[in-house]
Amino acid sequence: MKKIVFISHDASRTGAPILLLNLIKLIKSNTNFEISVILKNPGVLENEFKNLVKTYIWYNENISNYKEILYTRFFINYLNKRREIKRRLLIRKKVNSADVIINNTITNGELLAFLVKDFKGEIITYVHELKLGFQRFATPLGISQTINLSHKIAVPSNAVRQNLLNSFNCSTDKIDFLNYYIPPVLMSQSPLIQTKGKKEVLVIGGCGTLDWRKGIDIFIMAAISLKYLGYGQLFKFIWKGALKNSIQYEECIYDIRKAHIEDRFEFLNADNNVADFYKEIDLLFLSSREDPFPLSVLEAASFSKPVICFKDAGGATEFIQMDAGSVVSYMNISEIVEELLEYHNNQSLIEEKGEIGFKRLKKLHHDEKLILKQFINLIGTKGKCH
């Protein structure tokens, strides 16, 4: 029985950990692999990992070596550090007993290098990031360590693949595709028939954290532009994933109030209730400046909702193409407004394009046999990036 250890950067309610949970559930239900997880940092999804498989939490903090411990002034510090080192040695023992390590995201390089010093098995990294993600969430040393240690690299989109080929000297045969898996539990909540009669107000959804990369400011600007053009009353904007005690939230509220669109705008907290959000919206506007292959696009498709996204902003266009939504020029607010008005005037497009996205999702991201085959092929071969 093959032993697999997954390493996750954390257990936050964000794309990479959610998709990792989906993948582990699929593998656990269809194979006899022995699976365990190491979380570099904890998070709100920690218990979901623990309820699924054996889970260890590393915690991303510096731990002194034994020499430093011997000189520690306080006895309690000595005991705590000794206990912590013992716990981490047990984690390394678990790693060394595995056949395969699946390192989820490019950001775990320093931890990966420490854990695999005596590891003899295969190391596979599942990369979810593009250039800005590399710069923001990882160090140059960590990226280099990850690339050099990985026998194989899995990617969810051609955008991620091309970034690896352009930024690092990885040969093409060392990179394989591994589709994201969207479980049928989510898809079963999605009706293909969704509109009856013309709606006076279309609900436009956005999703993600409130950071610059996700383009919340662009999302707000689209709403403001519609207002100043005299079409604001035709749309309502809802953003799912806000952290309402953050400075980013206050900055968003500042613009919304100054532009007097409070009655056309709503923020929803980040939680696991995505169904109500996707049922309420008519289409998703992916305002991201950079997004490798966003989970929100697949979630929207699972509810038969079309997506508007930017060209040259990541892998979303590979799924949307031109028939499951709309692709507009990068940060072109005028084009966004034109597309939104087109959907409002021709609401049959929402159903038509939403159904195409739903069918594409079933083919590429719900097919358990396809994704399991990709995964088995991935862990069955070795290679090196160089």
User: Which carries the bigger pLDDT value, residue 217 or residue 135?
Assistant: 217
Give start and end residues of each alpha helix (H) in 97-205. 109-115, 131-137, 140-149, 158-167, 184-187
195-204, 317-326, 367-376, range with the lowest pLDDT? 195-204
Asked if 110 and 142 touch (Cβ cutoff 8 Å), the reply is yes
Asked if 226 and 235 touch (Cβ cutoff 8 Å), the reply is yes
Q: Is residue 374 part of a domain?
A: yes
pLDDT at 173: 86
pLDDT at 135: 84
154 and 55 within one domain: yes
pLDDT at 107 over 60: yes
Q: Is residue 386 part of a domain?
A: no
240 and 98 within one domain: no
pLDDT at 347: 97
pLDDT at 187: 54
Query: Position of tokens 């929803």?
Result: 268
pLDDT at 372 over 90: yes
Q: Is residue 248 part of a domain?
A: yes
pLDDT at 184: 78
pLDDT in tens, 292-351: 999 999 999 999 999 999 999 999 999 999 999 999 999 999 999 999 999 999 999 999
DSSP string covering 247-266: HHHHHHHHHHHHTT-GGGEE
Say how many C-beta atoms besides its own lie within 10 A of residue 95's C-beta: 23
133 and 122 within one domain: yes
Q: Is residue 201 part of a domain?
A: yes
pLDDT at 83 over 70: no
Asked if 5 and 101 touch (Cβ cutoff 8 Å), the reply is yes
d(Cα 276, Cα 207) in Å, to the nearest integer? Answer: 13
pLDDT at 21: 96
- Give the pLDDT mean for 198-225: 96
199 and 131 within one domain: no
138 and 20 within one domain: yes
pLDDT in tens, 30-74: 999 999 999 999 999 999 999 999 999 987 544 444 444 444 444
Could you list the residue range(s) of the whole structural domain that residue 194 is in?
185-365
pLDDT at 82: 62
Q: Is residue 339 part of a domain?
A: yes
Q: Is residue 384 part of a domain?
A: no
317 and 234 within one domain: yes
202 and 271 within one domain: yes
pLDDT in tens, 257-268: 999 999 999 999
292 and 148 within one domain: no
For residue 148, what is the domain's CATH number?
Answer: 3.40.50.2000
- Give the pLDDT mean for 226-232: 97
Asked if 296 and 284 touch (Cβ cutoff 8 Å), the reply is yes
189 and 111 within one domain: no
Report the run of H or E that residue 152 belongs to, with start and end: strand 152-155
242 and 230 within one domain: yes
Say how many C-beta atoms besides its own lie within 10 A of residue 333's C-beta: 15
- Give the pLDDT mean for 127-155: 90
Q: pTM score, two decimals?
A: 0.86
Q: Is residue 32 part of a domain?
A: yes
- Give the pLDDT mean for 79-93: 71
Q: What is the tally of structural domains in the chain?
A: 2
141 and 199 within one domain: no
pLDDT at 86: 73
Mean pLDDT of the chain: 89
11-15, 65-69, 246-250, 275-279, range with the lowest pLDDT? 65-69
Give start and end residues of each alpha helix (H) in 271-346. 275-280, 295-302, 316-320, 333-345
Q: Is residue 385 part of a domain?
A: no
pLDDT at 84: 65
79 and 36 within one domain: yes
pLDDT at 133: 85
Asked if 274 and 240 touch (Cβ cutoff 8 Å), the reply is yes
Express as a percent the part of the chain with pLDDT over 70.
89
